Structure 1
Amino acid sequence: MNEIRKYDVALSFAGEQRDYVEEVANELTSLNIFPFYDGFEEETIMLWGRHLSEVLNEVYEKNSSNVVMFISKEYIDKAWPTHERRSAISGAIQKGTPPLLVRFDCTTVPGLPTDINHLSAKKYTPPQLALMIAKKMGRDTVPEYRIHRVDEANFGKAKRLVYRIEVPTVYSESQGRMIATHIVESKHIKNDPVNALSFLFYFPVADPNGRADGSIDWAPNGKWADVTTVQTGKYSNFQFATQFWKERAIPDLYHETRVRMAIFREIVQSENRGWDEAEKAGGSLEETIGTRKDLITDYKRELAESHGLSEAGLRKIMVEGVVNNWPEI
């Protein structure tokens, strides 16, 4: 059971940049992209009883589809990031795919060509960077949404529109940006030219005619007030800018996802345990299968009770984990 399932992306960084990287990891999780981030693994059995150097080598060299390095002076100087970096570079040579670089400063990275393009952490907020990673991976599927209505908010001859958008569950800022980008590209790049757009997001139960739960503008220099500085339909200096995003529910969203992933791992463990115990009991193949089924049923009932779930709720998590290819250990 030492095999580690593949992660979508492994995040390699120094502790000085943990706050930024943790927010990126949370945003990736909200986009249904599952990263290797050590803060998510501290209380799981994946690390329990194993040599950390061995685990990190497997993750960064073999078992992550992508690696993002967060480059800084501390990242180059410290021992564990250096170990991660060397494993990632070895994996990149084998796969022919260089790691993705995000820079906090201009420190040179030993072992990597100097001409690899990078993104600057100073230019991208964690939600923006998570969205860029999703796009690079081809995982930027637009979340479900409904346009409640579109209001005009013109300023002189400048055309400004306000979209009121209803979403079926609590979304992260990155998901909000995906929706805003989709509307811009599908409705305004080639048709219906504007000077600025504002997107107001309403989580479930919220009144779409009242105060929004999130607001993102698409405007010249990211500023709603700069609409008179550009010609209508000329978008060369347009940027997205988040005005606010309700924080109260977002940590719960991340927490709930991680909890469900942990429960999924426990379900898999219970099935493996049932099989091992049934084989130890001996008997014919038919008897072993019957014993395994009974044991697994008992284990899952106990597991559901321990988490305050119905058996149907436990099955739902099992299906979600299989569909999304969550790590099993």
Structure 2
Amino acid sequence: MTAYYRPLVQHGEARPEGAVALAGQGLWFTHVERLSRTAAARILPAAQVPGDVLDRLTRPRAAISGVAMDRPQIMGILNATPDSFSDGGVHNSVEAAQAAARDMVAQDASILDIGGESTRPGASFVPEDEEIARTEPLIKAIRSATDALISIDTRKAAVAKAAWKAGAGLINDVSGFTFDPDLAPFCAQVGAPVCVMHMQGDPGSMQDDPTYDSVLLDVYDFLHGQVGFLEDLGMSRDQIIIDPGIGFGKTEKHNLILLQNLSLFHCLGCPILLGVSRKGFIGQIGKEPRKDARAPGSIAVGLAGLAQGVQILRVHDVAETAQALRLWAAVR
């Protein structure tokens, strides 16, 4: 029987005996929920967690290209696409992208995620030469304007190579390194930090009828397998970020199950990225049809993720998120 251990995360200066720190942060836990595909869940003291699992839960996460993982970080979304679900067409010019990048960094984004292919539900495939033409000039311009970490949001090796040469320092693959067999070896060769996301299907079909045996454990097992695959190529686990892929081949119920149980993913020993900004379920539950008016709902879910130890929030509304994060940290 494979067992999974979800820490029951708490916060506060006063800690009971037996409390252990979570991933080198100010959060801690005394108990875990042991999960299995074949047995009922059980609550256990942290002391009963196997040593290797407890080590991954508690070990401080290393910095990613100079960005510390011992406190929450904001990744600003900057899409160079005509058809992204929320900001398509806004940053297509070099000047607009450069200005937006400066603003995001001034507003406390430590990472800028540049995308040239929309991955919204139903999106069409973009040829790699077109994706490079969209992203490479923007990365060069942004690199000249700021020292922030630049992430290239791509599933194609050729695009990643061009972006890396232009100044990107993180490869963020929504396919979890399953789309292009040349991408992971390239990242290993150049020593690029990576983000591995779970997506069922592809953007064009992922929302047709997503099904799982257990969405939480299925997503966990996929990420566990891909982290192992990347390690086998020579990558270091402490330079791998994981993303459960909220909204990518998931129903509203699937999304909520993942969000309620995010702390399970700390067992992988990697920083966790959470991307929920302006997504469909935010509008549905929050009763807000306008995508650009979903900052309050996006922030609410993001802060709930931070309470479970998520290290990175990927957002459109950087200034609003940063303000909320400052207050969240102050009252805690």
TM-score clears 0.5: no
Structure possessing the higher radius of gyration over alpha carbons: 1
TM-score, structure 1 normalization: 0.27
Normalized per residue, which structure has more helix?
Answer: 1
**Bigger relative contact order (CA 8 A; separation at least 6):** 2
